[in-house]
Chains A and B, each alone.
Chain A
């Protein structure tokens, strides 16, 4: 069970949220110059880290705002919550193995 600190609503039960997967994926441009490999990577290839993971979440049953979460996929510890559009905070990758 996660307690997620929504930037608008404060700490809430994970059941109110939805995880939108990997954060900081940039759409390759310009379209006419994008190869099939780049496009496939953009759509499908994911980092899927064991340890520190940067993810987008939405407070679906609350303020419905999107934000970013830095979370450990082994311990489920939430290391940071930061706004959309902001770069990833500098965190050491946890002791995940």
Chain B
């Protein structure tokens, strides 16, 4: 693996850029692997990386039906935050945020993590009281959060309509200063390159079509379009397609798949230097380094596996933007797209063992999987390598739906689904 550095870029500039090598290999699958990861998005690639790096398990394959990071990793709005309510969630998402803080250096790959902060804006007394409760929980959990005044919100977000007749008046808000954004493709590519350098085989255009099991029901391999590949352990990180893959493996999940849309506008000069979330409309927005406004809102209204948007939701989300930031009302959209997200009733992920022995799962992140990539990968790798759930992952097992120990972030931290 060529080590990336400013000096290397300079040197290659002198030599006509001829000295670069591919960031990862494209090997044919071996007959057998110690661990097979299904899904070459951020979570799957991170799992492979931490298996090799932390646990020394290097005979690992990542099987991806399409191309790396072509699912939700390439379809989100790149926001990273850890502003959750319950202690279990705070530990999980803050662990992820901490891993992001060191990720570019660890992977020798610039993931462009920009801790520009995130402002949650309250538009009524009720929003403000909810925000205070939320901030109180975050501070008790040891996660940075602070209430900010209406004047401070207006100072940080001059683009918001703060006139006396504003449709969404500004009552104040709260801020997590360590939140921010990262380059989504770079996260997938950085993990892929680092995992490949440690010996992981990344196999694209390889679709899993079935599972092989022995008499006791334990997994012994997977059937793919490239033939049978043997293994004792399978890690599944396929987001919106988790129910489909689980059915192949012989179990069901408490998941419904929805389309979540995101939008990017034509490039503008800088107008927003933080991430904003409106507690009234669910609109979230940031501005990319290229100048495009990247924004999104609520889920589409019904279950879907179609990776495309639905016009009533576009009207709702773009309408919220135009209401709150009238000066942007005539800005044109450059693109919009949809990812298929795996929504669970308590809006918390599912991590760990499944009813099929040897198959482990990482799913149920719903609308918030990107921010959790390092943690999701680290924790699944821990479970695959040691056979035990990591302390942070333990509360998120599939059994919580049968014991009743739900972690209901939908009610607690006001998630839009």
Q: Which residues of A pack against B, CB within 8 Å?
A: 1, 13-15, 18-19, 21-22, 36-37, 39-41, 43-50, 53, 55, 71, 73-76, 96
Shortest distance between the CB of B201 and any CB in chain A (Å): 26
State how many residues of chain B have any CB contact under 8 Å with chain A. 24
Chain A residues near B305 (CB-CB < 8 A): 50, 73-74, 96
Distance, CA A40 to CA B398, complexed state (A)? 11
Q: Is the CB of A76 within 8 A of B306?
A: yes
Chain A residues near B310 (CB-CB < 8 A): 1, 76
Q: Is the CB of B345 within 8 A of A48?
A: no
Distance, CA A74 to CA B302, complexed state (A)? 12
Given contacts A19-B303, A48-B256, A76-B306, contact A14 B312 (CB under 8 A): yes
Cross-chain contact of A50 among B241, B253, B301, B404 (Cβ < 8 A): B241
Q: Is the CB of B244 within 8 A of A50?
A: yes
Chain A residues near B311 (CB-CB < 8 A): 1
Among residues 305 to 330 in chain B, which have CB atoms less than 8 Å away from a CB atom of chain A?
305-306, 310-312
Chain A residues near B252 (CB-CB < 8 A): 41, 45-47
Distance, CA A50 to CA B306, complexed state (A)? 9
Instruction: Say if the beta carbon of B7 comes within 8 Å of chain A.
Output: no
Instruction: Say if the beta carbon of B10 comes within 8 Å of chain A.
Output: no
Chain B residues near A76 (CB-CB < 8 A): 304, 306, 310
Instruction: Say if the beta carbon of B4 comes within 8 Å of chain A.
Output: no
Given contacts A37-B402, A76-B304, contact A48 B312 (CB under 8 A): no
Q: Is the CB of B256 within 8 A of A21?
A: yes
Q: Which residues of B pack against A, CB within 8 Å?
A: 241, 243-244, 252-257, 301-306, 310-312, 344-345, 401-404
**Per DSSP, are chain B's interface residues mostly helix, strand or loop, or mixed?**
mixed
Given contacts A44-B401, A75-B306, contact A19 B253 (CB under 8 A): no
Chain B residues near A43 (CB-CB < 8 A): 345, 401
Chain A residues near B304 (CB-CB < 8 A): 73-74, 76
B251 closest partner in A (C-beta): A45
Cross-chain contact of B301 among A18, A47, A53 (Cβ < 8 A): A18
14 pairs of residues in contact across A and B, judged by CB atoms under 8 Å: A13-B312, A14-B312, A39-B402, A44-B344, A44-B345, A45-B254, A46-B252, A46-B254, A46-B255, A47-B243, A55-B303, A71-B302, A75-B306, A76-B310
Chain B residues near A73 (CB-CB < 8 A): 257, 303-306
User: Which residue of B252, B255, B304, B305 has the most chain A CB atoms within 10 A of its CB atom?
Assistant: B305
Distance, CA A76 to CA B344, complexed state (A)? 21
Distance, CA A61 to CA B299, complexed state (A)? 20
Distance, CA A50 to CA B256, complexed state (A)? 10
